[in-house]
């Protein structure tokens, strides 16, 4: 196996990586536990994982939990928390995590999302109505006619959660969404929060999707099979042009 020069960064904020060897790939495809998985279960019985796969670094395996990645060394029966970074600065952990996230985002149903626009390109967004960069993204996409937005709410505070309910409780959801995102309901403005079970269920569904996918911050976009973390205009424009 070709060796890669990497640096292991011991940080708490993680993103992931994965390169499958043939034998582990076959085991995963057949839903059969590999010897490494069995050893990991015995060494760390309380640690949940979705997959354990070998990396390009001999003796180091990626442990994917669904919303986090860390690493396992069977020989030493040890785990490492951090990102694998190539000497050229490429964070292969981060890149792998976004690939896994994209695979999950491709499968989530869009019927509970707030649909905005009617353009040819679909853009899925997880957002917080109080997030500055989410509002910048709102202005950016509201000026485009070539996209259809599917908005999932991921409120990061009680105030944001109240604004989400204010939007979903209104008779004209799209207009109220525009009003909230344009700042009309900032500065402790009075909000209308209903007790509609459908609204509560929508919020719950959006939060469940965020948890399943591994969303940690906002905004997060899924565009043409790619995940964009944050309001990265050059990257977004590039993907939309492809």
CATH code of 235's domain: 3.40.30.10
- Is the predicted pLDDT of residue 143 greater than 80, yes or no? yes
- Give a yes or no: residue 108 inside a domain: no
- Asked whether the beta carbons of 149 and 116 are under 8 A apart, the reply is yes
> Which region, left, alpha or beta, applies to residue 187 given φ > 0 means left and ψ of -120 to 50 means alpha?
left
Same structural domain for residues 137 and 20? no
Number of domains comprising the chain: 2
pLDDT of residue 32: 62
Q: Give the pLDDT confidence of 148-205 residue by residue, as tens digits.
A: 999 999 999 999 999 999 999 999 999 999 999 999 999 989 999 999 999 999 999 9
- Is the predicted pLDDT of residue 16 greater than 70, yes or no? no
- Asked whether the beta carbons of 187 and 87 are under 8 A apart, the reply is no
Q: Give the pLDDT confidence of 117-134 residue by residue, as tens digits.
A: 999 999 999 999 999 999
- Give a yes or no: residue 109 inside a domain: no
- Give a yes or no: residue 107 inside a domain: no
Same structural domain for residues 16 and 68? yes
Q: Looking at per-residue confidence, does 54 or 24 come out higher?
A: 54
Same structural domain for residues 142 and 234? yes
Q: List residues bridging with 79 in a β-sheet.
A: 72
Same structural domain for residues 90 and 118? no
pLDDT of residue 31: 54
Helix axes 92-105, 197-213, angle to 10 degrees: 140
- Give a yes or no: residue 41 inside a domain: yes
- Give a yes or no: residue 18 inside a domain: yes
Q: Of all residues in the chain, what percent carry a pLDDT higher than 90?
A: 80
Q: Looking at per-residue confidence, does 13 or 89 come out higher?
A: 89
pLDDT of residue 19: 30
Omega before 219 within 30 of 0, i.e. cis: yes
pLDDT of residue 67: 86
Q: For residue 162, what are the contacts with CB-CB under 8 A and spacing of at least 6? A: 191, 193
Same structural domain for residues 49 and 135? no
pLDDT confidence tier of residue 26, bands split at 50, 70 and 90 = very low
Same structural domain for residues 79 and 125? no
User: What are the residue ranges of helices labelled H in the chain?
Assistant: 22-29, 35-43, 92-105, 132-142, 158-169, 173-181, 197-213, 233-241
Last residue of a domain, one of 95, 122, 156: 95
Same structural domain for residues 34 and 81? yes
Mean pLDDT of 90-115: 94
Same structural domain for residues 128 and 62? no
∠ CA(25), CA(29), CA(31), 5° rounding?
115
Same structural domain for residues 20 and 130? no
Tell me the C-alpha distance between 240 and 237, whole Å: 5
Same structural domain for residues 87 and 129? no
212: containing domain: 114-241
Q: Give the pLDDT confidence of 199-242 residue by residue, as tens digits.
A: 999 999 999 999 999 999 999 999 999 999 999 999 999 999 98
Same structural domain for residues 91 and 120? no
- Is the predicted pLDDT of residue 13 greater than 80, yes or no? no
- Asked whether the beta carbons of 79 and 67 are under 8 A apart, the reply is no
C-alpha distance from residue 47 to each of 22, 44, 85, 171 (Å): 25, 6, 24, 46
pLDDT confidence tier of residue 86, bands split at 50, 70 and 90 = confident
- Is the predicted pLDDT of residue 17 greater than 70, yes or no? no
- Give a yes or no: residue 144 inside a domain: yes
Last residue of a domain, one of 63, 95, 127: 95
Mean pLDDT of 50-74: 93
- Asked whether the beta carbons of 241 and 146 are under 8 A apart, the reply is no
Q: Beta strands 147-153 and 121-127: pairing type? A: parallel
Same structural domain for residues 53 and 126? no
Tell me the C-alpha distance between 202 and 165, whole Å: 10
Tell me the C-alpha distance between 62 and 64, whole Å: 6
- Please give the model's pTM, rounded to 2 decimal places: 0.79
- Is the predicted pLDDT of residue 29 greater than 60, yes or no? no
Last residue of a domain, one of 95, 123, 149: 95
């Amino acid at each position: 196996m070709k060796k890669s020069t990497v640096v292991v960064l011991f940080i708490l904020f993680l993103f992931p990586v994965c390169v499958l060897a043939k034998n582990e790939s076959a085991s995963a495809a057949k839903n059969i536990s590999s010897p490494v998985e069995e050893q990991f279960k015995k060494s760390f019985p309380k640690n949940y994982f979705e997959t354990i796969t070998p990396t390009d670094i001999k003796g180091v395996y990626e442990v994917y939990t669904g919303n986090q990645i860390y690493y396992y060394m069977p020989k030493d029966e040890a785990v490492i928390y951090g990102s694998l970074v190539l000497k050229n600065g490429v964070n292969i952990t981060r890149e792998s995590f976004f690939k896994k996230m994209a695979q999950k985002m491709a499968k989530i149903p869009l019927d509970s999302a707030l649909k905005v626009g009617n353009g040819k390109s679909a853009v899925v967004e997880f957002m917080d109505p109080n997030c500055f960069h989410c509002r910048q993204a709102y202005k950016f996409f509201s000026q485009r006619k070539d996209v259809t937005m599917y908005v999932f709410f991921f409120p990061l505070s009680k105030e944001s959660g109240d604004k989400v309910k204010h939007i979903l409780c209104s008779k004209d959801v799209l207009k109220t969404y525009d009003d909230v995102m344009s700042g009309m309901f900032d500065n402790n403005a009075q909000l209308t929060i209903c007790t509609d079970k459908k609204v509560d269920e929508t919020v719950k569904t959006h939060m469940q999707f965020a948890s399943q996918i591994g969303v940690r911050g906002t905004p997060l976009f899924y565009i043409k099979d790619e995940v964009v973390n944050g309001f990265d205009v050059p990257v977004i424009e590039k993907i939309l042009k492809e």
